[in-house]
């Protein structure tokens, strides 16, 4: 299944059977809460999923957005109406940053039929599709979480990949270079990593670049399907967006879920600054 779906194609899917479960995972690092956006308007039938509460475990040494406990994630998805035999479409405001993390987490825990609405809520509205403030009443789903269905990296694995493969840092260039770190206590990047900001994966409308342009972008950075590739960011959210873009480009990749927030929790891990 292609990981993306656009607004016209989703509109057709919603008129057929089985209709996909719609999950609204709008989220903003510095606020306001995504639930506020959801209550003002969302796709008809969509259920809100809280990224911090439902798609990640409690913050700590494992990172600011570590993997959720399997049982907790399973329960959250069942409350949202997710079942194993029914397709799921997830979306956020526009650029799929948060939606990609939910896409990745569902895939990691074994759901095979998950797509991201390319362009998100704004793309849906711009296409003239309807929205509502009415919150749906959904029956519980039967999704069973089976962890380990996508590759992950820990700190040691990320360090090894930075030396022997290709480790992409999805953060903004100034954070990669260590010039500005607004969230984590230490600035810089994992030695050997290559900067590939997620904003380079999408156009001004928030939609992903075509697959051939993504392949070209990643090839220029040294990331192809001929080498082992991984990605990290600050806390494993925007790096999931990088994994999604790599998937569209046909390049398998592993996610360092703990990312920089986990890396700097260990003071013995080395830190690089500048371009290299």
Q: From 94, 80, 98, 95, select the one nearest 27 (Cα to Cα).
A: 98
| Calpha distance 44→26 (Å, rounded) | 15
Burial group, residue 66, by CB count within 10 angstroms (0-12, 13-18, 19+): buried
| Calpha distance 267→270 (Å, rounded) | 8
Q: From 156, 174, 189, 195, select the one nearest 261 (Cα to Cα).
A: 189
Q: Is 128 a catalytic residue?
A: no
Burial group, residue 75, by CB count within 10 angstroms (0-12, 13-18, 19+): middle
Q: From 214, 275, 199, 217, select the one nearest 250 (Cα to Cα).
A: 214
The single residue of 21, 233, 239, 265 carrying the catalytic annotation is: 233
Question: Which amino acids are annotated catalytic?
Answer: 233
């Amino acid at each position: 299944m292609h990981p993306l779906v656009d607004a016209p194609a989703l509109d057709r899917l919603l008129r057929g059977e089985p209709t996909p479960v719609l999950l609204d995972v709008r989220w903003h690092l510095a606020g306001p809460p995504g639930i506020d956006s959801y209550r003002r308007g969302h796709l008809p039938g969509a259920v809100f999923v809280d990224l911090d509460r439902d798609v990640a475990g409690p913050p700590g040494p494992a990172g600011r957005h570590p993997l959720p406990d399997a049982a907790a994630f399973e329960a959250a998805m069942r409350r949202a109406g997710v079942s194993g035999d029914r397709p799921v479409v997830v979306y956020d405001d526009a650029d799929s940053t948060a939606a990609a993390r939910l896409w990745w987490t569902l895939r990691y825990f074994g759901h095979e039929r998950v797509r991201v609405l390319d362009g998100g809520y704004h793309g849906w509205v711009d296409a003239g599709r309807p929205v509502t403030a009415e919150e749906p009443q959904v029956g519980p789903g039967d999704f069973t979480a089976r962890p380990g269905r996508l590759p992950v990296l820990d700190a040691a694995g990320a360090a090894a990949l930075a030396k022997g493969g290709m480790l992409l840092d999805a953060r903004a260039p100034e954070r990669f270079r260590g010039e500005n770190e607004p969230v984590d206590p230490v600035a810089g990047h994992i030695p050997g990593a290559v900067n590939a900001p997620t904003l380079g994966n999408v156009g001004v409308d928030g939609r992903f670049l075509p697959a051939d342009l993504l392949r070209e972008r990643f090839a220029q950075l040294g990331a192809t399907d001929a080498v082992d590739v991984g990605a990290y960011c600050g806390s494993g959210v925007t790096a999931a967006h990088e994994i999604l873009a790599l998937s569209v480009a046909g390049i398998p990749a592993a996610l360092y879920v703990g990312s920089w927030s986990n890396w700097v929790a260990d003071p013995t891990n080395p830190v690089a600054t500048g371009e290299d």
